[in-house]
Chains A and B, each alone.
Chain A
Amino acid sequence: MKKLSALIALSLFAASSAYAQDGGSCGGAIPLSAPAPGTIVNVDTSTGTGWINNYGPLVSPSNDIVYTFTTGAAAATGSITPTASSYAFAIYVLGSCTPGAGPTPIGATSTLNTAIALSGITAANTQYWVAVTGTAAGGAGANGTVTLSVDPTLPVTLQGFQID
C-alpha cells in the first residue's frame, strides 16, 4: 500500500512537472493555441525566471517567458504585435529553444505596435518559439507586463495538453 501511494504521488509529481506550461522552460513553453480573431495574449514576466541568458549575441539579463506554435501545411502569414507594456521589453521569434544559451532570433521587436511579421521567416510544419523578455540595456530588473496581439491567420497546432 505504501509503495502504491508513493507510486501514485510520484506519478502525479512527474505529470505536473512534465506538463507545467508556464513558459519557464522549453518543454513548458506555453502553446499559442488556435487564436480567435483579435486574440490578445497578456504576459507578465515578473512571474517568471531568467532561464535563457542570451539569444545569440543578445544577452538577456531579465526574466523569460516562452510561448510556442507549430505551423501547418503552409508557413505562417500572421504577425505578433506588442500593443502595451510596462517595461523595456523584447519579443523574439526563435527557430529553436535552448535553456541558457539561446539561439539568435529570426524575428524581433522591442517597439510598441511594431509587429513581427511571420511571413518570410517561418516555414510549413515547423515548431517555433516566441520569447518575451527584456533588453540588455534594461538590465536584470526589466520585467513586467506585455500585451501581445496575435494575428488570427497564425496557423498553429496544439502542442500539449493537461488533464487536471
Chain B
Amino acid sequence: MNTKMNVLSLALVGLCGFAGSAMAACPAGPDTAHGGAWSAVNALGGTAVIATPGYATTECRLDSALTGDASAFATVEDDSPTAEPSYRASFIINADTLTTLGAIDAAYIFNANSSGGPQISLSIVGDGAGGHLVSYVVPDTNAAGGSDIGSFPLTAGENHVEIQIASPTFGIWVNNNNPTGPNATVTNVGGATAIDTAFLGLAGPTPGYITSSNGKAVGFDQFDSRRTTFIGF
C-alpha cells in the first residue's frame, strides 16, 4: 500500500489536462464513482464535497460540514489498506470557519480502523480561547482506561497532521516536519492494530459542536498514507 490521495492535489490537473481551469481540474466528487480517488463518501446529516481552491497550492480540497446531530457524519473512506501492521497517514486541515467552537465542542476528523474497530481517533475541539486543538485517542493495554490521549494546538490556516501506528508504537506530528521527533509517542499500543480502513472528515459531533458550528465547512487536503516512510510536508 502506498496510497496517495491526489484527488485533492495538483497531480489531477496533469491527469485531466485542465491546468488552466481549477474547476475543471477537480473531480465531481471525492469518490472513484465521481472521478476522485476515495473508496466511498459517507454522509448523513452533513456533506463531504470537493471545493476549490485546495491548500498548499493545490487546485481542490475536501469540504466536510455537519448539519445534523451527534450521529451525523460527513467523511470520505479509504479501503486500500489491507490489515496493515504499519500505517502512516498525513493530511492538511483548515478549521478557520469554526470561529465559535468552545472547549466542550468537538467532532472526529480522522479514524483509522482495524477489523477490531477504531484504532486511531483524531478529533478537533475548541481551546476555550478562540483556537482549536487536535486530540488523539489510541488503545493502550497498559494504561488506565485502556487508552492514551493527548491534544496539540492547531494554528490559524492550514495545519499538517501526521500519524503513524506500528504496534506497539504510535506517533503523532502536528505542524512538525521532524521525522524523529513526533509531538507524542505511545509505546504500548495494544489490540488489533492492523489498519484496514481510514475515514477523513467530520463525524460524531457533540451537541455543542452542532449548536456552534452547524453547516460550517472544515477543509481537508493532501491526504497521503503509506506503510512506513515519513510523509512530512
Contact = CB atoms under 8 A, between A and B. Distances in A.
Interface in B68-83: 70
Given A110-B103, A136-B103, A57 B204 contact: yes
A51 B177 CA distance: 33
B207 A137 contact: no
Given A101-B146, A104-B204, A137-B133, A57 B123 contact: yes
Interface in B208-222: 208
Interface residues of B, number: 33
A139 B151 CA distance: 8
A4 B19 CA distance: 86
B128 A135 contact: yes
Nearest to B153: A137
B70 A101 contact: no
Interface stretch (A32-40, A58-66, A73-81, A144-152): A58-66
B228 interface: no
A56 interface: yes
Contacts of B102: 110
A: contact size bracket: 20 to 34
Given A88-B103, A108-B104, A137-B103, A58 B207 contact: no
A59 B149 contact: yes
Contacts, number: 107
Contacts of A101: 137, 145-147
Contact of A100 (B126, B133, B145): B145
A155 B145 CA distance: 31
A50 B144 CA distance: 8
Nearest to B151: A136
Nearest to A92: B104
Contacts of B143: 53
Q: Which 8 pairs, one residue from A and one from B, show the smallest C-beta to C-beta distance?
A: A100-B145, A57-B123, A57-B106, A59-B149, A135-B103, A137-B127, A59-B135, A53-B145
Given A53-B145, A58-B135, A137-B125, 8 more contacts: A49-B144, A53-B137, A53-B143, A53-B148, A101-B145, A108-B208, A110-B103, A136-B127
Interface of B: 70, 102-104, 106-108, 121, 123-129, 133, 135-137, 143-151, 204-208
